[in-house]
Amino acid sequence: MDERDCKGLDLVRQARQDQAAAYFERIAPRWDQLRSLYLADPAVEAAVEQVLGEEPFQLLVDLGTGSGRMLALFGAKAKASMGLDLFTEHAEHGPAQRRCS
């Protein structure tokens, strides 16, 4: 790829990132409601609980944490926990933010 191609690709990536950020900003207040339309919360929570098991662990890292729901549900099982997300709009409306503020 030449320099023009790379610059064009950067512009496309930035436009897509901007579109995604705008979308998540719009839906953040309703994210938990929208998510539950696809999978029931109890089913997801039971599957995660099964994977995590009974024993406590050192660190819980939730990548793409969204509203922080998994941290709110399972963070107490770990000595330390953290959630990482590209879009901070979700955290402003999620249970982890409410719990920590």
| 10-residue stretch averages of pLDDT, the chain, 101 residues long | 86 91 83 77 88 90 86 91 76 49 35
Model pLDDT, residue 66: 79
Check residue 88 and give its pLDDT. 63
Please give the angle made by the CA atoms of 51, 59 and 82, to the nearest 5 degrees. 100
Q: Is the dihedral of CA 72, 74, 77, 79 positive or negative?
A: negative
